[in-house]
Each structure stands twice: as C-alpha cells, then as structure tokens.
Structure 1
Amino acid sequence: MPFKLTFLKTIALVFAVFLLASYKWADDDFSKIILSRLQEYRRIFPQEKAYLHLDKPYYITGDTLFFKAYLAEGSVHFADSASQVLYVDLIDKRTGKNISLRRVKLDGGIGNGDIVLNDDLPKGAYAIRAYTSWMRNFQEDFFFHKDIYLFNDDIEKPASPVSGLDVQFFPEGGQLVAGLNTRIGFKAIDESGLGPDVEGYILNQNNDTIVPIKSEHLGMGKFPFQPLANQKYTAYLRKKSEPFKAFNLPEVKPEGFIMMVNNLTTTDKMRVLIYAHFADNTEKEVNIIAHTRGLVAFAAKGKVTKKGLQLNVPTSAFPDGITQLTLFDHLNQPVCERLVFIDHGDRLNVKINTQKKIYKIREKTEVEVTVTDSAGAPVETNLSVAVTDAGQIAQQPFDQNIVSYLMLSSDLKGNIEQPAYYFDLTKEDRKMKVDVLMMTQGWRRFDWKDVLQETHTAPARFVEQGFSIQGEVKRGKKPVENVMLSVYLSNDSINTFLSTETGPTGLFSLDNLVFKDSLNVRLQGMSPKNRDVLNILVAPFDPPKFTISRIPFYPVTVDALQMAAYLKRAEEYLAIEKKIRDSREKLLKEVTIRGQKEVQRDSRKLYSRADATIKVSSMPAGGAMTVLDMLQGRVAGVVVSGSGSNASVRIRNSNSEPTFLLDGVPVEKDYITSINIFDVETIDVLKGASAAIYGSRGGGGVISVLTKRANANYDYSKDIVPGVTVAKIAGFNTPREFYTPRYDLDLPNNNIPDYRSTFFWAPMLRTNKNGKARFSYFNTDANTNVTIRAEALTAWGIPGSGEGSYSVR
C-alpha cells in the first residue's frame, strides 16, 4: 500500500510541523498572529507550481517541441486538480513576442502537448513558459520558465558582448552591524549571465587588506567579516587573467541585529545565533519564525543579551525544501532573514533498465522503469519519458528536473545555475554548496508585508476549469447593465444556446466552457427594444507580458563536431519527413462515382418530418416582427392570439401551449419572440402523434424554430447584423501523437534513412502496483549512445527523476 503509506506520511509531516509550532508559541500572542495571518494568506492566495518536461534541451527550425505538463499545489506539492487549464507559450527572448500559445487540458494535475517550430522562425534564444490563470495573480517570476535555443543549418555561435563582471554581497541575516562578527555571501555574474570563478580581497577605506576572498561554486562564495563603525569597505575581484574590478560592500549600520545559521554540522537540527548592538546596551526581546512554503515549522520567543541568543532548532519534522527564518524585533518588525535548505531525501527513486547494454541499429529496445519511494516500496504513479540520441543531443550539466524545480528553483527568484547539482547524491559537497546558494539568492514568494496585512484585496483572476467568454455591452460609449444576451456556441461537436446577463458595469462572462480547437460564438441582445444599437464587445485573451532579458543566452554545452552532426542529421530527417507528407498528398486520377446522394440528417431534429414547415427564406416577412407573427394564419390548426411578446399560441385539440424548441433545445416562449426573424431558417410545427417523440412535453404540440446560424454550413462572416457580435474562441489544443517507426513490419517508408534525434517520447506512462512501467521502440540508423530520462510526480506530492543509457553499435 505505498500510496496510502506515503500519503499518510505527508499528512503526518504537515501535522507534526503545526504541532511543533503550536507548542513553541503557546504563550506568545505575536506568534499566534503570525500563524493566523499565514493561514489566512494561504487560504486567500493558495500557490500553484507548473513544471514542463521537454523531450530535449534544444531544437532546429522545422522541429516539434514535445512537453509533459505537471501542476502542483504550492505548499505540499500535491497534484493540483483545481486549475484544469494550463497556458504554455513560446517567447522570442530578443523581442518579448509571443510566438505560439498552447492551451493544455489538465486532468488531475497532468497534461501534455507540443509546439511546431515553423521553418520561418529565426534561430536564437527562446523561452518556453507555463502558467495558469490563477498564477497570473502573482509575479511572473513564479511562472515556469525554461530557456531553449533554436538552431538552423549553421553552427555560428552568437557573438559575445564586451566582457563584464557584476558582484553582489549579502550579509548573513541581511545587514552589517558595527562591531558584530558575521559572514558575507557573494555572487558573481559575468556577461553571459552565468557564475564565473572569481578571486580577490577586501580593503577598508585606509586601503588595508581585511580578508582575501574566492568563489566556491558557480561564482558564489562566503567569508567571515567584522565591520567597524564609520568604515567603508571595497571588494576587488577578477575573473582569471582579467584585471581587478572594484565593488562596494553594503553600508555598515551603527546598531541593529545580525542572525547566523549553521545547518551543516548535524542532520537533525540547526543552530541559530542572534546578536545585537545598541547604544542603550539593554536586552532585546525578539521572535523567531520559521516556515516552509507558508507552513509554519517553528516559532520561539527570547531575549538577546550581551552574549547573544542561541537556539538549537530540531529539523526532523521540517518538510524538504527551503525554510525561511525571520527575526522580528520588539516592535514586531522583521529585521533579519535567512534561508536554509532542508533535505531528508524524501524523493522517488526512478530506475531505468534495458535488457541489454548494446543494441543493433533498428533493433527493438524494451525498457522497464521502476519507481520506489525513499523506503524502497513500489509506487504507482504517472511519469514521462524521453529517449534521445546522445550523439546529437547533449544533455546540459545538472539541468533542471522536476525534483530541483519543485524543491528549489520554484521558490527562488532569479536564475538558478545547474540546479540538479544540489540533489546529486554523488556530490559530497552539495550541502555546503546549497547553503551558499541560500545565502545569495533572493526570496520573494512570501513577502511579510503582504502576509501581515489585516485585510487583503480579492484576487483579480480565478481558478479556471474551462474557458471563459468575457466582454462588455455598451450603448454608444456607455456600459449597459442588466442586458440579457443570447449566446449561440458551435463547432464540429457543439451546437448549443446559452444566455447571460450584464452586470452593473456592463460586463458579462460565461465561464468553464470545455471544448477542443475553437468555438464559434454569436452574441445578441435578447430584448427586441433598442437591440440593434447595442455594441457587444468580446474581450480577447491577453497573455501576460514577458520581461525581456538583455543578457545573451546560449545554453548549449556541446562541441562543434557534435553540434554539426545534430544539424546535419536533423536537416536530413526533416527533409525526409516533408517528402513523406508530400507523397501522402498526391492527387488521385479522376474517378466517377455513381449513386444516390445521401441527405445528412439535421442533428437539431429528433423528429423525421414535421406536420407543417414554414421556410422563412422563401416567404416575405410582411409586417411580422416575431416568429409567432409569422405563424399567424399560415399553418392550419395553429391559432395565434395577440402580437409580439404578448401573443399566445394554441394548436387545435390541445389544452396547453405547445413546447417551443430553438435549434432542438427547449426554451421559453419569451425567448422565441425575442429572436430576430432574419436569423430564422425554418419553423416546424408538430401536432398530435408527431409530437409524441417529446413525451409529456409534446402534449400541447411542438413548435420548432431552426436558425440559419445553427446550420453547420452557415458562414457567420457573410451576415453581420447590427447588435450582433460574432467571434471565434480558442479551446484546448489536441496533442500530436509522437511518431515512432515499426521496423518489425514491412512498410513502404522503412527503406528511408532514420536519424531522429528523439527516439521515443511517452508523456503519459503509468507504473503499475509493483511500481513498474514498460515500453518499447526501435533504434535508428545511428551508431551512437542513447540517453533515457524519466520524470514523475505522485498525487501526494513526491517528485522523482532518473536517467539511463545504452549503446547502438
């Protein structure tokens, strides 16, 4: 029962975190306020995290980018079933232009899709981005972003700009205070936006050397430091073989607090040291709060004496991931902050096994993926798998995966270089390196200014379970309230009428519509009075703006020969693909087919024939204003009394008014009388036995009105009517099926050379109760090494990734 055990373990973990926190703040009103405000903030603004697994890290023009989408709840990473629409777009990083937008249907937090990279796209840097409507209530920084590079048939590397170096300094806890020993983290970034190795030293304003410094990992490092009052400090740093460059250290404050954290010495607790320097030399009462993704994990109250304040905080009940420690002073203001990374190793083990280590070209390869939890128990879960030619596609060093994204990158602002390094169990120094990262990377997902507000503004956007048609109705320039609108929706599988009403500001909305591809929409005011002077505006989808980065992006770490091989093979394969498509589209010789034309049945009619039919297009409307006016005196046995909306109808030998249908849908008589007669195609009348197909509804007979616009062959664009708006709304994109050749069958295309860079792509695999999933495919014609990558996320929030390989010879 791995699902139940792991799920219960997660629930117990969350409960233990709250229990621990409750014990610590039992007598502290401020801690109770913090807990209450955090819970309220999470209730109003629950977080979502989107993640995309791509089939490969870079592409060529004409290629297809395949992706698997995961959506998780932000705190405990449960698969998110609230939002069911995920937007995935491709952005040109040089211009910020949205090149392509995909709408992905999510089921239980998972979905998949693809983006065709057209031949006319310029080569260069692009970003693929994923977000929900709900995520747009927050900063774009917490959308999923991944940079990719699009090549064409040349391998010219983009020109690098003039060499540059920028270094930022981060005192532990947030500030330098005169006379207090602390540590300073630093982060260097070069002209490529990456972290280079740097070295240098710190000078005071008298040009005395205080301390030498050197980066430890990807431009990051730390050093001990004791600032003195009324001193300014300057760092001189350089990359290899380049001249030193000067950078100012942060200002030294005359008084205040510092906070240092040791999370490395022991595995079950961390040591928190707090010191203060103030002119009055009095003890200072403080509160320390620790939370992980909004879940409070620890709260304590204490006094900072001349000797400081030391706390040993147990971490065994903390969730895996980033924990934020905040020090609040006696005025309950946040004065120090420190991030620490908790890693209990609570992740899935994803193992990939092939039957052999060496295969032949075009040989069938069978693969088994085994997924277990941290205790070794099998896990039944959804996963995605990509198989690529390592001779063409170089997997980037310690590239982002679902584990590093959910546990690390998604909770930090800014680019995290080589994020998977911090989760590689073969790297013995990974805990020291991730601690330096925690000292130098900004935290932004939970801002105390936002959390501690007593009231919150309602979110502007809501959770989507389908698409919305939104807009406004105006008469002239003024919005019109309480206008009833008839809405007709149609595509290949949908023909239906709905209605909606404008609010006080003239706005209207139809929500949670679920459909594929696109939907034709026709809106019209239902009341005949002044209907033609209404201006109905449908709001188009407005994707979020993209912040253009001025830093060049060239992510590919691969030698020129390997890149040349990829470009050559990719061009050949795309040319072959095009020939195959063209051959399928050859014209056949003229063939004469004899037979009777089949008349397609109108799907709007349950009945086969009517007792009487009025074809509106073949008769003059005369003075008729409504459908009932048109019936008056024209159908035997149908009696219409009165006119307009006050008319009443009886069919002979019935004691009640007939049932009214509009394109097959039962509606009220008032709805029928509000229809524009020039929109009507035919009016059918069913009497007695003919109406029996509608059961008790047909007791008074049936009047069926069929509109032109509900006819599948009707062209909206040729009949624009005043007071009527016609639009087309995009729906869910239908994912392409990844094509894999079958070399065990004698097929016409099997003699074509095969040098695919992606051998196999399976976005929606699932392990069985034994934690196993099996799949197979055929190798290509390349003598090469092959990389298999799998990623998974359980419904209860545990991620995992794995990699395997074999050779083709």
Structure 2
Amino acid sequence: MPWKKNFVNYAFIAAITLLITAFQSSGEDFIQFISNKLHRYREVLPVEKAYLHLDKPYYVTGDTLWFKAYLTEGSLHLADSASNLLYVDLIEQHSGRNAALKRVQMTGGIGRGEFVLNDSLPPGAYTIRAYTNWMRNASEDFFFRKNVYVFNHEEKVAADTPAGKIDLQFFPEGGQLVADINTRVAFKAVNEAGFGQDVTGFVLAQSGDTVASFRSEHLGMGRFQFEPKTGESYRAFIKEADGKVTPFAFPKVHDNGFTMVVDNLSNTLKMRVICYAKIPGKTEIPVHVVGHARGIVAFVANGKIGSRGLMMQLPTAELPDGITHLTLFDDGNRPVCQRLVFINHSRSLNVHIKPSKPEYKPREKVDVEVTVTDSAGKPVEANLSLSVTDAGQILQQPFDQNIVSYLLLSSDLKGFTEQPAYYFDPAKSERKIHLDYLMMTHGWARFKWEEVLGDSIPPAKRYVEQGITLEGDVKRNNKKLTEKTALSLFLSNDSLSTFMTTETDETGHFTVYNLAFSDSLQLRIQGMNKKGNQSLSFTLNPFDAPRASVVKIPFKPVTVDARQLADFLKNAARDQEISKKIRENRERLLREVTIKAKKETPRDSRKLYNSADATLKVTPQMASGYMTVLDMLQGRVAGVSVMGSGMNAVVSIRGNRGEPLFVLDGMPVDKALITSLNVYDVESIDVLKGPSAAIYGSRGGNGVISVLTKRGNENYDYSQDIVPGVLVTKIAGFHTPREFYSPKYTPTSPPDQNPDFRSTIFWAPLLKTGRDGKARVSYYHSDATGQADILAEVLSPAGQPGFGKSVYPVR
C-alpha cells in the first residue's frame, strides 16, 4: 500500500506504547517537537533527485549518447518537482574537465537529450552528471552520477588492473564502541579503483592476543560480533594473497556511552531495536527512538534503558520502501546513536515487456508491448523510457543502476554504491543480509541533526530555476556603480523577438530569471537613461559548473567482453565510414555545380536616388572622435560647410543659401533629429547636389543630406555592432533534443545496400502507458543476428519507480 503523507504515524506509535512499559510523560511533547523540526527543515530545504536512463553503458568516439531525464522531489518521489531546468554534463575522469554541458528543459519532471561524442573527444572514462541549481545547496555527493567509457576504434580490452592499495574501515553498529557492551562491527574494504575488495583479517588486543577474526562476504563488506574491554585498544590486520599482513586502525573504545543494535531481517513485519547505555550514576535513562524516511517522521518510540538494556519491537508494515533512518536520543534530547535500515515490501511497479513474436529475422519489424502494474496487479499510467541494444556488441553491466535502485537506495547514500540492482534481485537469496551490511557501512548525510534541531536553519544560497537565468554586472568607467541603474534588453532569434527591462542593484549586479527559449538568443543590453550610457560596460557571468573530483588512477568503469568489444568497434567504424562517404558524395555533387552570372548589387530601398555626389562611410574609428553626424561632415565633403557644432551647427552646400533637406533612412526629418543620432548607429552619409537632388522636388532645392543607419539596413547584423554602453552577444538556452533515427525496411521501400549494425537498435524516451497500463512501440531490427536486449525504466506520477527487461532472438 502506498505510503501516506503523515509526518507522524500516531497509530503506529500507539502500537509501540503497548510493547514498551516505561515512558516519559513528556513523550507526546517530544513527538510534536521532532515532527515540527523535521517538517520545518523540509520546508526550508526540500530535496530534489535527478536520474538519467542511458541507452547503453559504453560508447565509441563518433557515437551518440542518448539519455532520458527524470526529476522528482526527494521525500515521496513525486514526478513533478519545482525545478524546470536540469543541468547534464559530461566529465572527463582523469582531468576533471567538463567536456560538454546540456541545459535540459523538464516538463512534469521529464526531459531528454543527447551528447554527440565527436572524434575530437578523447577516449577514456567519463562521468555523466545531472543536477539542478537547487540541488547545489546540498553536497554534490547527491548529484546523479554514472560512469561510462568512450572507446576509440583501435582499443582493445586491457588486462584486469591489480587491486593495489586496499582501504579498510570499521563501523560499530550505532556509531561507537562502549567498553564491556557486546555489539556488532561492520567493515568495508575497497581497492584503489573504488570497488569492493574481498579481505580476510583479525583484530588484536594490546597484549597481542587475537580477539576477533573477520572475512568479507559481499563486495568487501561483512560484520562480526565484538565486545571491547575497559582500558583496552585494538588494531586490525588483513592477510593478503602473498602472505603479507597489513595493519589498519580500529575504532576507539569509549568508557561511557550508548549502543544500538537493530535486527531488521528475522521478521518481515517487525524490526527489533536493542539499546544499551553505560552512564555513571544512572541506572535508568529515558530515551527516544526516532525513525524517519527521507526526512518524513515515520515513528517516535519512547522508553527507558535499564541495567538489562531496552528492547523494542517496531512494526514495519506501514513504512515506505527504501531507507529508514533510526536515531536514538538521550534524556537531553541529544542524538547519540544512528543506524540505517532498508525496508522492502516490493511496492515498486511491475514492468512486463513482451515482443509480439518469439523470434525475428534481420531487418524485420518488431512490435513490443510494455505493461505496467502496481504490486496488487492493477494497471498504472506512467511515464517510461525504453532502449533496445544488440547483445552481440553491448554487454549489459552486472546489476547496473536502474531507476528503482537509484531512487530507493543509492540516492540517499553518500558515496559510490557498487552493483546496486543486486539488492533488488529476488533470485539472490543472500541479498537482504548483504544489504544490511551496506546500511551499516554507509551513513545518512543529507542533513545533520544539529542543523535540524537548531533554532535557525541557514538559508539556501541557490534558488529554484524554472528557466534560463541571465546574470551579470555593470560598471561605469570601469568602476562599480553606486546607485541602481535601469537596463533595457532586446532578445531575438528566428522565431522570437522580445523587449524587457530590469534594474541593477546598488553595486551594478543584475539578474533576469526564468527565460524560456531553446538553442540560443541574440541579446542586446544597454542603459535606459541617456545620461552616461556610453560610459557603461557590461559583463555576463557564465554558468559556473560544479567542480568534479579527479580520479587519480584511470580505470574502465564498465565490464566488456573482448569479442563483443571487437564487434562493437568494428561495426561502429563501418557505420561512421558509410556516413562519412555519404557526406563526401553530397559535397562532391555540390562542388560539381557551376553557376555563371553577372553579380547584381541589390538596390537599397531607402534611397530614391541611384547614386550620390559624395558618400561618407562611417567607421567606428571615425565615430569615436565626434559627438554628432554634422560634426563628422565638417571638412570631409567638398562643397559642404558646417559652421558651429552640436545642436547649434549650421549646414550649407555651396551655391545654395538655405540649409539642405535632411533625410533619415529615406524619410525627410528635421535637423534636430539628425544631430541627436548616436554616431555609432550611422552606417553612411550621402550628399546630393544640384540635379542629383532634383528627385526630391522643391524640398531638395538647397541640396540633400541623406543619413543611413545600421538598423535601417534590412541586412543589419546586431552581432557586428560595437557601440559604447551597449553589449551585443548570444546566450545559450534549453537544449533542443534530436530525434533518434530508426530506419524502416518495408517491402515497398527501395533496397538499402548499406549494412546496418547499430549497437543501439531503438531508443524511445517519451513513452506513456494508458489507463490499461500498456504502451506499444514498433521498430525495425538491424542486420545483426543473435540476441537483442530490451530495458524499460518507469516512473508513475505518484512517485513509484519500476524497471523491466526482456530479450528476443534474431536468426
């Protein structure tokens, strides 16, 4: 049954009170206190989670990496979070360099995109990340991350890298070792590549006696019983394959404190929590055990730890699937022990993938039906993405991350989770105890109790983005502004043209939020008041991507079979060579076409006349020395006299008594408008005398001065405009996703002689199931024979994830 949005399950608490004999009278007050604190924290700093479904686990240079993006809120995994902009970037692991960045527009928590892995991209290990601006308020450990490898066409499978130096850490259950209290100690060993490493070892006391031994059971993890003694200290050692013994630090033993042991495996409907304490002068200590799942309180149990400890039987039927965080609070309401447990009632969605036939032929049409149901077997309307790959080229990674394992497990753990889907595979009988090892060796780190219980929560430094943010700084004469300044912005592209205004703060900083446009926009920004505008300078702040940690020892983060890799690289090279030849043929055809004709200069529609008696072309260098158009004319055109300057200038053309007719972009205007023009906006000045001016009739009797502006020219390119006090540039918008190309091989289609060995046979990121819980797709298989893998990832609007896979043979 779905998890209700209660912050405290009071019915659950009532059941617990029947099982615990000693309670503080202030128990209800503590329940309200802790619930309010967590609720307040979630209001101020709510969590978002991002997830990417990729079409395959590894690629080759020249390939395309396709992805589907899911964005949820962090507590209930509702599919429509607050942010509408998701950043997806590709990080080169050995250098930490950001190789590519996409701004993905999210609609209802759903988006898509791709990275074209150009030949210029160095082969090697990469990490693809996904995060929102709001997610950057928390640790970057909670960004979505996935390791991929980009091969080159000549690469071969390298031999396995030796494990190298091993790191071994110990984790006492509950958080600490207390003298003379028997507890359990978990451990985890990892190699230099960050993967779990199997180890065998022992623990020695100061006397040199062996007091415990241990052996890892799964991915370098395991646990053992241990009872530390008063005044004793311990060291751990591992035995390596060559017989070498390596020492490691062992946790410190505390004379006083609390311990907490949790059994979440013996009974599927209840968990048993056992608490012990050793505090001088106290025989009974009132305590609280708080359980919360993703920041929402699930239960609060109260009791007293006596000389024989305290045992609680806590029902789990109403807890949500995923990680529940247990905290033991002492009588001063201080957190003293913590423990993670995983609840799995199998409430994830069931995804059944059914091809229409038991087997297919190369290039045959494939029809696939995907059915999504809940745990009760009822159909579910959901959003899903589906990938089909050639199993002869692409080896699906063992127990690779999927949307279920990520949302319920990995997204709430700090650090790398190896083979996360293993813990959700019903065929693995030991998965539950191995998952408990994982819970003991990973800590909850999304918040600290001190922050939650404190009177003031630090405000978020970054905001929720629902569109593109334009941010920059304005200076006057290269100095910071001392007052607010109004700005005008003109944004345009082929399909959009808009004008808006904004204002800087007192220091000259300005921000424009929630711009919604794809690809790029041309931006023109300037001050709105004429006074001092030319002394303004503008700087746009580029997007500052989070720094990525550098992996010191490069490794292949994928498992690849030598034969499959050879086929993959051979077929990729062949497909790219075919595409290259097609492009070359098209270019050759274009070069063979020769067009001969006399070039005609297009007539400027602003000119009534065919030619002028004199033309002055205005350059930025020329304009920089003058205030008005008439000042530029002075002494530059024979027969034109300009007396005075600025607004008071008097103009005449030799042989005429009065002032000439002034024309601006083909329209007669008065002299005042001409003298008020910005000289940097002027393209050229034409002077017409005598007969040339006759086309304007009697108005041109004293000659004509025709001013042509850059903006009046229909071919004017704002990006070439250099004007003091004005910034013209382009800004990036939402990524415009490409469509996945899938060829059609119908009986009526002309035969295609080019071989088709796509590694990604089909990619459908935007599928939806109907009321019957079904979605259907059709595509044509490639020339490959063997087996095809189908993977589907699903998320319902209510936040229930699902994952399914299937195969079909091709002969």
Give the TM-score normalised by structure 1: 0.85
Secondary structure in 2 matching 1:33: helix
Match of 2:416 in 1: 415
Compute the displacement of 1:769 (Å): 1.5
User: Is residue 220 from structure 1 mapped to residue 221 from structure 2 by the alignment?
Assistant: yes
Deviation sequence 1:631-663 (CA, Å, 0-9, x none): x99799x9999989xxxxxxxxxxxxxxxxxxx
Match of 1:426 in 2: 427
Match of 1:609 in 2: none
Whole-angstrom CA distance in 1 between matches of 2:733 and 2:209: 66
Match of 1:59 in 2: 59
What code does the residue aligned with 1:226 have? E
Match of 2:639 in 1: none
Deviation sequence 1:173-225 (CA, Å, 0-9, x none): 00000000100000011232111222222221212122221112111001111
Report if aligned partners of 1:472, 1:479 keep a CA contact under 8 Å in 2.
no
Compute the displacement of 1:717 (Å): 4.2
User: Is residue 15 from structure 1 mapped to residue 16 from structure 2 by the alignment?
Assistant: no
Match of 1:236 in 2: 237
Report if aligned partners of 1:17, 1:318 keep a CA contact under 8 Å in 2.
no
What code does the residue aligned with 1:15 have? N
Of the three residues 558, 561, 566, the one matched with 2:560 is: 558
Q: Against the structure 1 CA distance between its residues 748 and 38, is the aligned structure 2 distance closer, same or farther, given a 3 Å change threshold?
A: same
Compute the displacement of 1:330 (Å): 2.2
Whole-angstrom CA distance in 1 between matches of 2:74 and 2:292: 13
Whole-angstrom CA distance in 1 between matches of 2:547 and 2:713: 39
What code does the residue aligned with 2:201 have? G
What code does the residue aligned with 1:45 have? L
Secondary structure in 1 matching 2:219: coil
Q: Against the structure 1 CA distance between its residues 33 and 232, is the aligned structure 2 distance closer, same or farther, given a 3 Å change threshold?
A: same
Whole-angstrom CA distance in 2 between matches of 1:158 and 1:499: 61
Whole-angstrom CA distance in 1 between matches of 2:670 and 2:579: 68
Q: Against the structure 1 CA distance between its residues 808 and 213, is the aligned structure 2 distance closer, same or farther, given a 3 Å change threshold?
A: same
Q: Which moved more, 1:356-365 or 1:293-302?
A: 356-365
Match of 1:494 in 2: 496
What code does the residue aligned with 2:580 have? K
What code does the residue aligned with 1:463 have? V
Report if aligned partners of 1:16, 1:317 keep a CA contact under 8 Å in 2.
no
Compute the displacement of 1:319 (Å): 1.2
- Which runs of structure 2 are paired with 1:555-634 in the superposition (5 Å)? 555-588=557-590, 589-590=592-593, 621-622=629-630
Whole-angstrom CA distance in 1 between matches of 2:230 and 2:713: 83
Of the three residues 795, 798, 803, the one matched with 1:796 is: 798
User: Is residue 716 from structure 1 mapped to residue 707 from structure 2 by the alignment?
Assistant: no
Compute the displacement of 1:43 (Å): 0.6
Report if aligned partners of 1:198, 1:240 keep a CA contact under 8 Å in 2.
no
- Which runs of structure 2 are paired with 1:455-494 in the superposition (5 Å)? 455-475=456-476, 476-494=478-496
Q: Against the structure 1 CA distance between its residues 618 and 281, is the aligned structure 2 distance closer, same or farther, given a 3 Å change threshold?
A: closer
- Which runs of structure 2 are paired with 1:397-412 in the superposition (5 Å)? 397-412=398-413
Secondary structure in 1 matching 2:566: helix
- Which runs of structure 2 are paired with 1:316-327 in the superposition (5 Å)? 316-327=317-328
Match of 2:538 in 1: 536
What code does the residue aligned with 2:168 have? V
Whole-angstrom CA distance in 1 between matches of 2:675 and 2:41: 50
Whole-angstrom CA distance in 2 between matches of 1:102 and 1:596: 43
Gapped regions of structure 2 (runs ≥ 5): 18-24, 606-614, 619-627, 632-644, 648-659, 685-707
Match of 1:307 in 2: 308
Deviation sequence 1:53-112 (CA, Å, 0-9, x none): 000001111111000000011000001242111111000011110001011111100011
Match of 1:210 in 2: 211
Secondary structure in 1 matching 2:465: coil
Q: Against the structure 1 CA distance between its residues 749 and 708, is the aligned structure 2 distance closer, same or farther, given a 3 Å change threshold?
A: farther
Compute the displacement of 1:558 (Å): 2.9
Deviation sequence 1:275-301 (CA, Å, 0-9, x none): 011232432222221110000011122
User: Is residue 516 from structure 1 mapped to residue 518 from structure 2 by the alignment?
Assistant: yes
Q: Against the structure 1 CA distance between its residues 622 and 289, is the aligned structure 2 distance closer, same or farther, given a 3 Å change threshold?
A: same
Compute the displacement of 1:458 (Å): 2.2
Secondary structure in 2 matching 1:743: coil
What code does the residue aligned with 1:49 have? K
Match of 1:106 in 2: 106
Secondary structure in 1 matching 2:803: strand
Match of 2:117 in 1: 117
Report if aligned partners of 1:527, 1:674 keep a CA contact under 8 Å in 2.
no
Report if aligned partners of 1:51, 1:405 keep a CA contact under 8 Å in 2.
yes
What code does the residue aligned with 1:130 have? A
Q: Against the structure 1 CA distance between its residues 426 and 120, is the aligned structure 2 distance closer, same or farther, given a 3 Å change threshold?
A: same
Q: Against the structure 1 CA distance between its residues 252 and 634, is the aligned structure 2 distance closer, same or farther, given a 3 Å change threshold?
A: same
Match of 2:94 in 1: 94
Match of 1:168 in 2: 169
What code does the residue aligned with 1:468 have? T
Match of 1:702 in 2: none
Compute the displacement of 1:17 (Å): 4.6
Report if aligned partners of 1:65, 1:116 keep a CA contact under 8 Å in 2.
yes
Compute the displacement of 1:565 (Å): 1.9
Of the three residues 775, 780, 788, the one matched with 2:777 is: 775
Report if aligned partners of 1:201, 1:235 keep a CA contact under 8 Å in 2.
yes
Secondary structure in 1 matching 2:589: coil
Q: Which moved more, 1:504-513 or 1:65-74?
A: 504-513
Report if aligned partners of 1:495, 1:710 keep a CA contact under 8 Å in 2.
no
What code does the residue aligned with 1:538 have? L
Deviation sequence 1:325-365 (CA, Å, 0-9, x none): 11122222211100000111111111111122221111111
Secondary structure in 2 matching 1:311: strand
Report if aligned partners of 1:197, 1:240 keep a CA contact under 8 Å in 2.
no
What code does the residue aligned with 2:144 have? F
Of the three residues 734, 737, 740, the one matched with 2:739 is: 737
What code does the residue aligned with 2:42 have? R
Give the TM-score normalised by structure 2: 0.84
Report if aligned partners of 2:629, 2:677 keep a CA contact under 8 Å in 1.
no
Secondary structure in 2 matching 1:317: coil
Q: Against the structure 1 CA distance between its residues 353 and 156, is the aligned structure 2 distance closer, same or farther, given a 3 Å change threshold?
A: closer
Whole-angstrom CA distance in 2 between matches of 1:169 and 1:726: 59
User: Is residue 386 from structure 1 mapped to residue 377 from structure 2 by the alignment?
Assistant: no
Whole-angstrom CA distance in 2 between matches of 1:543 and 1:562: 36
Secondary structure in 1 matching 2:175: coil
Compute the displacement of 1:625 (Å): 8.6
What code does the residue aligned with 2:37 have? R
Q: Which moved more, 1:334-343 or 1:579-588?
A: 579-588
Secondary structure in 1 matching 2:517: coil
Report if aligned partners of 1:708, 1:714 keep a CA contact under 8 Å in 2.
yes
Report if aligned partners of 2:157, 2:562 keep a CA contact under 8 Å in 1.
no
User: What RMSD in Å do the two structures reach over aligned CA positions?
Assistant: 3.4
Q: Which moved more, 1:169-178 or 1:763-772?
A: 763-772
What code does the residue aligned with 2:36 have? S
Whole-angstrom CA distance in 1 between matches of 2:760 and 2:196: 31
Whole-angstrom CA distance in 2 between matches of 1:772 and 1:720: 58
Q: Against the structure 1 CA distance between its residues 462 and 18, is the aligned structure 2 distance closer, same or farther, given a 3 Å change threshold?
A: farther
- Which runs of structure 2 are paired with 1:36-51 in the superposition (5 Å)? 36-51=36-51
Deviation sequence 1:421-466 (CA, Å, 0-9, x none): 1111222222111111100112211221222221123212111111
Secondary structure in 1 matching 2:752: helix
Compute the displacement of 1:730 (Å): 0.6
Whole-angstrom CA distance in 1 between matches of 2:526 and 2:281: 74
Whole-angstrom CA distance in 1 between matches of 2:73 and 2:240: 41
Whole-angstrom CA distance in 1 between matches of 2:237 and 2:745: 63
Report if aligned partners of 1:28, 1:301 keep a CA contact under 8 Å in 2.
no
Deviation sequence 1:600-637 (CA, Å, 0-9, x none): 999xxxxxxxxxxxxx99998448999xxxxx99799x
Match of 2:132 in 1: 132
Gapped regions of structure 1 (runs ≥ 5): 1-8, 603-615, 627-631, 645-671, 683-705
Compute the displacement of 1:34 (Å): 1.9
Match of 1:287 in 2: 288
- Which runs of structure 2 are paired with 1:257-276 in the superposition (5 Å)? 257-276=258-277
Compute the displacement of 1:265 (Å): 1.2
Compute the displacement of 1:129 (Å): 0.4
